[in-house]
Structure 1
Amino acid sequence: MSDLPTGYEYDAEPSHDRDDQGPLPVLAIVGRPNVGKSTLVNRIIGRREAVVEDTPGVTRDRVSYDADWAGRAFTVVDTGGWDPDAVGMAALVAAQAEVAIHAADAVLFVVDATVGITDADEAVVRVLRKSGKPVVLAANKVDDQRVEAEAMNLWSLGIGEPFPISAMHGRGTGDMLDAVLAALPEAPPERDAEIGGPRRVAIVGKPNVGKSSLLNKVAKEDRVVVSDVSGTTVDPVDELITLAGRQWRFIDTAGIRRKVKNVQGHEYYASLRTNSAIERAEVVVVVIDASEPMTEQDLRIMNTVEEAGKALVIAYNKWDLVDEDRRYYLEREIDRDLVQFRWAPRVNISALTGRHMEKLVPAIEAALDGWQTRVPTGQLNAFLGRLVAAHPHPVRSGKQPKILFGTQASTMPPTFALFTSGQIESSYQRFIERRLREDFGFVGSPVHVQVRARQKKAKR
């Protein structure tokens, strides 16, 4: 990434570190489309994380999950279906699966026992042999004794004993996982924990605005599938990347559709996982397509981030597609459209060309600093005293509520509790929020003000 300035170092190889241990052994799960790989991933990790649907090709990227079996931790990498005759997007998916094989310590090869050996299965076996990685063969969809007998035919693949399993019901997965542990190397000894671990950055936005291209450019490798077809990313994809001497956990997500209730099938679950990614992130980069007018959907996504109390950075992508004349007017349109999010850092970038990508990390760091800002109680009450003296609350029905005391209840996001003699109008509350920003910054962070009105004592 030659466009980026000196001092920005990139870790081109995907890392599988946890916060408290060295790199975990990596297990790649491969096989042709629709043999039940994602169902098996969910069975191994013990929760429904990987998107599962009967439609082939739902998983498209390499997606990593932490797993544990018999007291040993390892990383599971789910992949898209591997098809040697793939074209278009399917070819990109197959390439991701092949990369996963070479990056893994061992491979779990999944075959549909009810179908038997296909030409695609034999092609995968050739790739596995060439890689030289240890392979465990899982004969999936074995729900009864009759199919189990048919599974034994998979010995003819020549890669070892087939383990008859049912990913759906869990049948036989224990023996298979014992074989997996035998194939994986031992995890390195524990290292000192990094305080807080890598900062978590979620990349969100409408479908097809360039979120995956942005992650690939930051990672300096094709980490996720990029296609002009909207909705290519389904599962959130976590990637540990070193930028400016710090390690970050970037989370690429599926595009947020207009309304979750109108979305069907795997896109419904993908939308839920995107919202979950926002919840577990610390800072959210909302990607907007600069070549198209801003929509209500873009604003709704930013509102979702604000309501979740996360730090916010707004990235206008595809800036290279906007000509000079259009940029002049676009800047003014953006100022008007983002009037309620003026506190969020904004960067104009091109994930395709790398234009101004060096501005992304400083914007993220500024947003995190604002998100964690704490105002001392004495300083806050001095501010409130000056504010109320200059701009007292309006008198309503002959009464004028007073602010008795204020304190910052928490950070991440900054949340203030105001103890008052009566209820404060919402417009005055927003005025206080605005003045808090003017005096203390809080760049890139929502600011929440909670009013706690004094209760009148009941007359005896």
Structure 2
Amino acid sequence: MKPTLVLVGRPNVGKSTLFNRLTKTRDALVADLPGLTRDRHYGHGLVGSKPYLVVDTGGFEPVAKDGILHEMAKQTLQAVDEADCIIFLVDARQGLTPQDKTIAEGLRKSGRPVFLAVNKAEGMRREVVAAEFHELALGVPLVISSAHGEGVRELVELALADFPDEEESEEKDDHPKVAIVGRPNVGKSTLVNRLLGEERVIAFDQPGTTRDSIYIDLERDDRRYTLIDTAGVRKRGKVFEAIEKFSVVKTLQAIEDANVVVLVLDARQDVSEQDAHIAGFILEAGRALVVAINKWDGLDEARREVIKSDLARKLQFLEFAKYHYISALQGTGVGGLFKSIDGAFAAAMKKMSTPMLTRVLIAATEKHQPPKVGPIRPKLRYAHQGGSNPPLVIVHGTATANVADSYKRYLEGVFRTAFELQGTPLRVQFKQGSNPFADRKPAPKTEADENAARSKRRRSRKAYGKKY
């Protein structure tokens, strides 16, 4: 079992920078702005032969009694309960603060091993920087720079010293990554918490509560999933804060990283142009899709019919996706999402044999041939699979550049039906067959070839003279 290191500290002491350093990623948002991280953020690291889990937490405000700061503090306390050891970060440039003392007192009561890391100490004398932090009574302060990597390896080695060596197992990463996306305040974090069965991420009645993309592992019915809670995506013209711009980028990256995307819509609002833009990006990325219409409870029948009509009209290009009408808050209809997620993931990863694809292609062309372009009719000869997530079918033939878009859509529908590809986009790509003899150059003639040719010409002349 991998030990869990939890990073704790007041806002803007460099926890996310250290998280990225320990995981060798850029998964956590980093900016010179306090309060950027709000939820717990998990990552994997390895030092020597010791793998570990590292947890980034939001800025810890233990005295906050309500609001978003109180919710962030609750997340941090939950992370502390899960920890095998705690790395408590303080800021060398700001020095010891009353808030540091309050946090240190709480960490001493947790019963977990605590390692005090004095961060942002690049270019400073270590012994001078560490002196005032002895007052926290958490052992010898370890002076580091998470931005430059100074002292970080020594810190982690010390934190993991009491844990046995363990070879990191290479598990096949074949479980679905599921991104929960949508506009702000449609209930994404509430849905994530409902799927997990715990208050894992902050769900607050305020748009923009989630800022980073949070990856959370889940096991359900002996099957693993990774849920990705993302920030709400607003219209570009309404994104003013630098933090929110970062968040939108992280959301788009999460869609690219996911296998299946759950698009969450608000049933109490009309389907907006922004909903269609997000759906279009998911389609462009080629990700399998499940649509969840949230806040369905309490709506009258007339309103429900309006929403269904609106969906059919504005999101008709998502006809391959399954639709679920749910209430994330009450839990109504949420259980059925996993069946659709599994089906969409299986369709996105499906392997299609070349003989079967070719038979389906031949049957489709016999039923309906490609239309002529001038005097030329494209001839489609065989097909094979070119990739997964999304499934890519490559069709070979002649004059394939002249295949109409309408015929391409026809083939997509035929392949989707034949291979039961419900829940995933499908791409068909055409490849022009080449003449194998077009670029072949004649072999250079040898002296023997030249002599044989001259002898043949002489014999021809003699034969011609005798005849006439």
- TM above 0.5, one fold? yes
Question: How far off is 1:83 after superposition?
Answer: 1.1
Alpha-carbon distance in structure 2 between the residues aligned to 1:235 and 1:148:
36
Deviations 1:432-451 (A, max 9, x none): 11232233321001111011
With CA pairs under 8 Å and 6+ residues apart, which has the higher RCO, 1 or 2?
A: 1
Q: Taking structure 1 as reference, are residues 70 and 454 closer, same or farther at Cα in structure 2, changes over 3 Å only? A: closer
Question: 1:72 maps to what in 2?
Answer: 50
Query: Residue 351 of structure 1 is aligned with which of 305, 316, 328?
Result: 328
* Paired letter, 1:53: A
Q: Taking structure 1 as reference, are residues 269 and 260 closer, same or farther at Cα in structure 2, changes over 3 Å only? A: farther
Question: How far off is 1:214 after superposition?
Answer: 0.9
Question: How far off is 1:50 after superposition?
Answer: 1.3
Alignment of 1:157-306 (within 5 A): 157-182=136-161, 185-186=163-164, 195-259=172-236, 265-306=242-283
Question: 1:389 maps to what in 2?
Answer: 366
Q: CA RMSD in A?
A: 2.4
The answer to whether the 8 A contact 1:243-1:361 is kept is: no
- SS for the counterpart of 2:90 is strand
Deviations 1:215-256 (A, max 9, x none): 111111111111122222222212121223322111112223
Question: 2:101 maps to what in 1?
Answer: 122
Question: How far off is 1:283 after superposition?
Answer: 1.2
Which TM-score applies when normalising by structure 2?
A: 0.87
Structure 2 runs not aligned, ≥5 long: 442-468
* Paired letter, 1:291: R
Query: Residue 101 of structure 1 is aligned with which of 80, 90, 96?
Result: 80
The answer to whether the 8 A contact 2:85-2:112 is kept is: yes
Is 1:446 matched with 2:425?
yes
Question: How far off is 1:78 after superposition?
Answer: 0.5
Question: 1:370 maps to what in 2?
Answer: 347
Query: Residue 113 of structure 2 is aligned with which of 131, 134, 142?
Result: 134
Question: How far off is 1:174 after superposition?
Answer: 3.2
Alpha-carbon distance in structure 1 between the residues aligned to 2:97 and 2:173:
48
Q: Which has the larger radius of gyration?
A: 2
Question: 1:35 maps to what in 2?
Answer: 13
Is 1:436 matched with 2:418?
no
Question: How far off is 1:302 after superposition?
Answer: 2.0
* Paired letter, 1:56: P
- SS for the counterpart of 2:226 is strand
Alpha-carbon distance in structure 2 between the residues aligned to 1:400 and 1:318:
52
Deviates more, 1:123-132 or 1:405-414: 405-414
- SS for the counterpart of 1:320 is coil
Structure 1 runs not aligned, ≥5 long: 1-22
Indicate the percent of aligned positions where both proteins have the same amino acid: 38
* Paired letter, 1:99: Q
The answer to whether the 8 A contact 2:50-2:167 is kept is: no
Q: Taking structure 1 as reference, are residues 187 and 75 closer, same or farther at Cα in structure 2, changes over 3 Å only? A: farther
Q: How many residues are aligned here?
A: 436
The answer to whether the 8 A contact 2:385-2:394 is kept is: yes
Alpha-carbon distance in structure 1 between the residues aligned to 2:216 and 2:165:
20
Q: Taking structure 1 as reference, are residues 410 and 218 closer, same or farther at Cα in structure 2, changes over 3 Å only? A: same
Deviations 1:246-275 (A, max 9, x none): 221111122234349966533333333222
Which TM-score applies when normalising by structure 1?
A: 0.88
Deviations 1:2-35 (A, max 9, x none): xxxxxxxxxxxxxxxxxxxxx3100111011112
Alpha-carbon distance in structure 2 between the residues aligned to 1:290 and 1:41:
38
- SS for the counterpart of 2:383 is strand
